[in-house]
C-alpha cells in the first residue's frame, strides 16, 4: 500500500492527483479495516470497521489492539493531568511483577487501577485431609481470588469452594470461605477445602487440602491483581 503525505500536490495534474488520492483512499480503508464482521481474523485486520464492513458497523470497534505503555515511571503512567476535557484513560501495560504480564489498566485524575486480573486455570488431584499440596504459584505483591470445583462429583453439598489470598514479602497466605450449609442438623460453618496460611504457607505457592470435599480432580480458577 502507498500513502502520499502531499496530496493533492500542486505540482501535479488533476489526473496524476487522482492516482495519489485513490492510493490514499485504499490505504485508509485497508488500514482501518474494510473486512466484514464474519471474516476470520487476519493480521491485516485492524481495530475498526470501515467502508465495506457495512453501514451498521462502520466506525465501530472490531476489537482493540495496542502496545504496552512503557514510559512515565514504574508502574508506567500515561500522565496526570490527563488533558482538557479528558476524565480517564484506558491502556495496557506490564504489571511490573517478578513474572511480568501485560494487562489492562485505567487511569483517572487520582488513581491507577488494574482493570483486568491475571487468570490461571487448571486441574489438580486432591486426596489428603492432612497434607497440603500446591495448586499454583503467583508473583509476590498480588491479591486475588480462588474458585475450585470437584470435576468428579458435582452433586454433593461440598463439591465447590472459593477463597482469597495475598502475597507479600515472599509469603503467600490463603483463606477458604466458610459455609453454613442449608438444611437441618448443620448449625456450624465448614468448608469443602482448606487453603494454606501461616505455618501451612510455602513461599508464593497457593496450597490446598481436603476438608469436607470429596477426593478427586478439582478444577481451579485463580485471578489476581497487583497490590497498588
Print the SS3 string covering 188-217.
Answer: CCECCEEECCHHHCECCEEEEEECCCCCEE
What gap in Å lies between CA 196 and CA 207, rounded to an integer?
Answer: 5
Q: Which long-range contacts (CB under 8 A, 24 or more apart) does 80-84 make?
A: 80/107, 80/109, 81/109, 82/107, 82/108, 82/109
Annotated domain spans of the chain: 66-116, 118-226
Reported as a single tens digit per residue, the pLDDT across 208-221 is 999 988 999 999 99
Look at the pTM and tell me if it is higher than 0.85.
no
Instruction: Answer yes or no: CATH 2.60.40 is held by domain 118-226.
Output: yes
**Hey, what's the cell of 58?**
462502520
CA dihedral 49, 51, 52, 55 (to 10 degrees): 80
pLDDT at 143: 97
Ordered mean pLDDT values, 10 residues apiece, the chain (228 residues):
78 82 81 65 69 71 82 70 85 84 89 91 96 96 96 85 96 91 62 95 97 93 94
| pLDDT tens digits for range 149-181 | 998 888 888 899 999 999 999 999 999 998 765
CB 187 within 8 A of CB 117: no
Quick one: pLDDT at residue 38? Answer: 58
- pLDDT for residue 206: 98
Query: What residues contact 143, with CB distance under 8 A and at least 6 apart?
Result: 164, 165, 166, 167, 224, 225, 227
Amino acid at each position: 500500500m502507498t500513502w502520499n503525505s502531499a496530496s493533492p500536490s500542486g505540482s501535479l495534474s488533476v489526473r496524476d492527483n487522482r492516482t495519489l488520492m485513490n492510493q490514499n483512499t485504499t490505504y485508509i480503508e485497508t488500514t482501518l479495516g474494510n473486512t466484514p464482521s464474519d471474516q476470520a481474523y487476519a493480521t491485516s485486520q485492524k481495530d475498526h470497521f470501515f467502508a465495506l464492513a457495512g453501514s451498521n458497523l462502520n466506525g465501530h470497534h472490531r476489537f482493540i489492539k495496542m502496545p504496552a505503555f512503557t514510559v512515565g515511571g514504574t508502574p508506567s503512567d500515561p500522565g496526570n493531568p490527563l488533558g482538557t476535557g479528558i476524565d480517564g484513560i484506558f491502556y495496557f501495560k506490564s504489571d511490573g511483577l517478578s513474572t511480568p504480564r501485560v494487562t489492562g489498566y485505567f487511569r483517572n485524575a487520582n488513581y491507577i487501577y488494574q482493570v483486568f486480573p491475571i487468570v490461571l486455570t487448571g486441574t489438580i488431584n486432591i486426596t489428603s485431609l492432612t497434607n497440603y499440596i500446591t495448586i499454583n504459584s503467583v508473583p509476590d505483591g498480588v491479591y486475588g481470588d480462588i474458585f475450585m470445583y470437584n470435576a468428579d462429583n458435582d452433586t454433593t453439598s461440598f463439591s465447590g469452594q472459593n477463597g482469597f489470598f495475598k502475597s507479600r514479602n515472599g509469603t503467600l497466605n490463603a483463606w477458604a470461605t466458610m459455609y453454613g450449609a442449608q438444611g437441618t442438623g448443620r448449625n456450624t460453618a465448614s468448608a469443602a477445602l482448606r487453603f494454606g496460611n501461616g505455618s501451612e504457607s510455602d513461599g508464593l505457592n497457593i496450597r490446598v487440602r481436603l476438608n469436607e470435599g470429596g477426593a478427586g480432580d478439582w478444577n481451579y480458577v485463580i485471578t489476581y491483581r497487583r497490590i497498588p
